A and B are shown apart, each in its own frame.
Chain A
Amino acid sequence: MDLGKELQGLIRDMEKLRDSQQPPDDRLLELLDRLCQQKLDLVKARIDFTTDKYQGAFAALKDAAAITRGVISDLTKLEEALRKIAKVVGKIADLID
Chain B
Amino acid sequence: MRRVYCWLICQFCIMMLGGCGLPRNQIAATHAFGNATAILGALGEEEFVGIRQGIIDMNAGLLALDSAKTTANLTLEGPTSMAATAKRVASAKALKNYGELLLALATAEPQVGLQKAAQAFADSMNSALGDEWAQAQQHAVAEIITGAGSLFLERKKASAVRRIVPAYEKPVDELASLLATDFSLDEEGFLQAYDITARRLKNAAIRVINSGTRYSLAERDSAVRGYRMAETALARAAELQGRFAASIETFRKANRGLAEAIKNREYDLNDIKDYAKQIRALADAYQVLTR
**Chains A and B bind each other:** yes
A-B CB contacts (within 8 Å), total count: 44
Q: Which of A5, A23, A33, A37 is close to B211, meaning CB atoms less than 8 Å apart?
A: A23
Of the listed stretches A38-46, A48-56, A70-78, A79-87, chain B binds A38-46
Of the listed stretches B130-138, B162-170, B196-204, B261-269, chain A binds B196-204
- Residue of A23, A32, A36, A42 contacting most chain B CB atoms (<10 Å): A36
8 Å CB interface, B35-93 against A: 66, 78-79
Q: Establish whether residues A4 and B188, one from each chain, have CB atoms under 8 Å apart when the complex forms.
A: yes
Q: How large is the interface on B (under 10, 10 to 19, 20 to 34, 35 or more residues)?
A: 10 to 19
A36 and B203 in contact (CB under 8 A), knowing A22-B210, A43-B193? yes
User: Is B186 an interface residue, CB under 8 A from the partner?
Assistant: yes
Q: Which of B186, B196, B206 is close to A24, meaning CB atoms less than 8 Å apart?
A: B206
Which A residues touch B196, using CB under 8 A? 11, 36, 39-40
Question: Nearest Cβ in chain A — how far from B215, in angstroms?
Answer: 11
User: Is A18 an interface residue, CB under 8 A from the partner?
Assistant: yes
A5 and B206 in contact (CB under 8 A), knowing A40-B193, A40-B196? no
Bound complex: CA A43 to CA B188 (Å):
6
A29 and B207 in contact (CB under 8 A), knowing A15-B199, A36-B196? yes
User: Is B149 an interface residue, CB under 8 A from the partner?
Assistant: no
Q: Which of A33, A42, A44 is close to B200, meaning CB atoms less than 8 Å apart?
A: A33
Q: Establish whether residues B203 and A18, one from each chain, have CB atoms under 8 Å apart when the complex forms.
A: yes
Q: Establish whether residues B79 and A32, one from each chain, have CB atoms under 8 Å apart when the complex forms.
A: no
A–B Cβ pairs within 8 angstroms, 24 of them = A4-B188, A11-B196, A19-B206, A22-B210, A23-B211, A23-B212, A24-B206, A24-B207, A29-B203, A29-B206, A32-B203, A33-B66, A33-B200, A33-B203, A36-B196, A36-B197, A36-B199, A39-B196, A40-B79, A40-B193, A40-B196, A40-B197, A42-B188, A43-B188
Q: Which 7 A-B pairs give the minimum distances between C-beta atoms?
A: A36-B200, A43-B188, A23-B211, A23-B210, A29-B207, A32-B203, A36-B196
